[in-house]
Amino acid sequence: MASRTLVAVLTGAGISTDSGIPDYRGPNGLWQRDPAAQDLVTIGPYLADPEVRRRAWLMRRDAGALGAEPNAGHRALVELEKAVPLRVLTQNVDGLHQRAGMPARKVLELHGTAHRVQCVRCREGSTMAAALERVAAGEPDPACRACGGILKPATVMFGEALDPVVLEQAAGIAQACDLFVAVGSSLQVHPAAGLVEVAVDAGARLIVVNAEPTPYDGLASEVIREPISAALPALVTRLAG
């Protein structure tokens, strides 16, 4: 690969499952096991129903996402960043790319971060760890300490719009890249999934690495179905060579 080729990598939940973070939509995903769990990450039910919020806080407490460790897939992308110009566009909110050693300036978090919380009324923020400490201390639905409003993760929940500034930055990267690699994403959640078309329409080559078929497989020059923790290091070896 030419040394100045810009590679854009869109990552979804599938890259983090080997770190113990379950996906939502896969065959063994959270929504397959518990369809009602979708309410816990959907803004309408979350704001309307205190019981949904209480269940959501318990889910965050028990998920262990804050203590998850990067896996071979995350580490492979760190190695690729050392070899070629690279930007990571991630649908994930777990921060594992940065934890693996990817420079934060190279990671665009399309759906925000689960490591912080914010008030929906006054926008005051704090760490997720601090909020979970309050849950552990007996507050089933901790409210904003500044104004009493509802706290939510600093993530884009289902039913919310992406930050237009972040989306514009992502579209610019997709338009500028020479190779677009979609890893572990169902490519069903828009507008993030539409970045594939932006890249391909601008002339980029597309590689899809995902266990299940996606709506954009037909546009790809290569589709890889092997497990990501094995497939991505092998792909990076080829791309960095």
Please determine, for residue 57, whether its predicted confidence score (pLDDT) is greater than 70: yes
Please determine, for residue 115, whether its predicted confidence score (pLDDT) is greater than 90: yes
Check residues 63 and 154 and name the one with the higher pLDDT. 154
Tell me the C-alpha distance between 164 and 34, whole Å.
32
Tell me the C-alpha distance between 240 and 197, whole Å.
24
Each residue of 175-234: pLDDT tens digit?
Answer: 999 999 999 999 998 899 999 999 999 999 999 999 999 999 999 999 999 999 999 999
pTM greater than 0.95: no
Helices 128-136, 50-63: inter-axial angle, 10-degree rounding: 110
Long-range CB contact pairs, 198-201, < 8 A, 24+: 198/171, 198/174, 199/8, 199/174, 199/175
The pLDDT assigned to 2 comes to 45
Residues serving a catalytic function are 111
The pLDDT assigned to 5 comes to 82
Please determine, for residue 34, whether its predicted confidence score (pLDDT) is greater than 90: no
The pLDDT assigned to 206 comes to 98
Please determine, for residue 26, whether its predicted confidence score (pLDDT) is greater than 70: no
State the CB neighbour count (10 A cutoff) for residue 194. Answer: 16
What are residue 90's DSSP bridge partners?
Answer: 11, 109
Tell me the C-alpha distance between 135 and 142, whole Å.
7
Q: Mean of the pLDDT values across residues 53-57?
A: 96
Q: Mean of the pLDDT values across residues 25-33?
A: 55
Residues 6 or more apart whose Cβ sits within 8 Å of residue 12:
23, 90, 91, 92, 182, 183, 184, 185, 186, 187, 210
What are residue 158's DSSP bridge partners?
Answer: 42
Please determine, for residue 126, whether its predicted confidence score (pLDDT) is greater than 90: yes
The pLDDT assigned to 237 comes to 95
Check residues 5 and 77 and name the one with the higher pLDDT. 77
What does the mean pLDDT of the chain come to?
92
